[in-house]
Amino acid sequence: MINTHNGIKEKGIKPVNIDLYPSIKKHLNEFYPQLEKRLDKGVTPYHLRNCAYMDDFNRQKITYIEIMTDNPGDGYDFPCFSFDTNNCVVLNTAYIMTGNIDELKHILGILNSKLGRLLVKYYSVQLQQRQFRMLNQYVVNFPIPKSKDVKLISALVDQMITDKKQLRDIKLLEKKVDTLVYQSFDFEAEEIAFIEFQ
């Protein structure tokens, strides 16, 4: 993917020089009359409009898709929030969260926990029997408490990411994260039983 960005003046980043990509320019020239009419073009019709969060794609971040399917039997992780360290750019059907790395992994642990599964169902819109629409306007309302266990949950999430890459079973780690999440929310046994049953 070539991001024909418009640059970031405040950071001294110049717009992409389309002449460095002759085959892309040749392709885009086929649509030049339409490109020229665009109201959202950048310095030239080849450029995309300014993107205020362009730098966020180059940070470590949580990524998630807009439509999540609650069907683990068919191989769908649910909920399915991921941690990106590869500077991925997401399209309009996915979202990102950036911030402090330990806090992000703490949030990731909560979002992918058994409680996170319930939060998705309570705070987002259900489309079909097992599909949920994860628009940003819903996800920002998930209650995520400040916790004394931020570093501990973050370390467990790190281990889960490593083990998953090495195709190791992570059930025990998931259980530890669930326990810490329950403690963060001060849930009682009855509340935990309810969440576990869902």
User: What is the per-residue pLDDT across 93-134, written as a single tens digit (0 to 9) for each?
Assistant: 999 999 999 999 999 999 999 999 999 999 999 998 889 999
Mean pLDDT of 152-162: 94
Check: CB of residue 155 under 8 Å from CB of residue 89: no
Output the pLDDT for position 174.
Answer: 95
What are the residues whose beta carbons fall under 8 Å from the beta carbon of 23, sequence distance 6 or more? Answer: none
How much is the mean pLDDT over the chain? 90
Residue 2 has pLDDT above 80, yes or no: no
pLDDT of residue 122: 93
**Do residues 76 and 70 touch, judged by C-beta distance below 8 A?**
yes
User: How far lies 112's CA from each of 30, 64, 89, 181, in Å?
Assistant: 45, 11, 21, 11
| pLDDT tops 90 at residue 167 | no
Question: Quick count: other Cβ atoms within 10 Å of Cβ 4?
Answer: 18
Which residue type sits at 107? I
Taking residues 175-185, report their average pLDDT.
Answer: 95
Mean pLDDT of 46-73: 87
E-strand ranges in the chain read 61-65, 67-69, 81-84, 94-98, 125-128, 131-133
Q: What is the pLDDT of residue 1?
A: 64
Calculate helix-pair angle for 101-111, 114-123, nearest 10 degrees: 80
pLDDT at 51: 75
User: Cα–Cα distance between 42 and 72 in angstroms, integer?
Assistant: 44
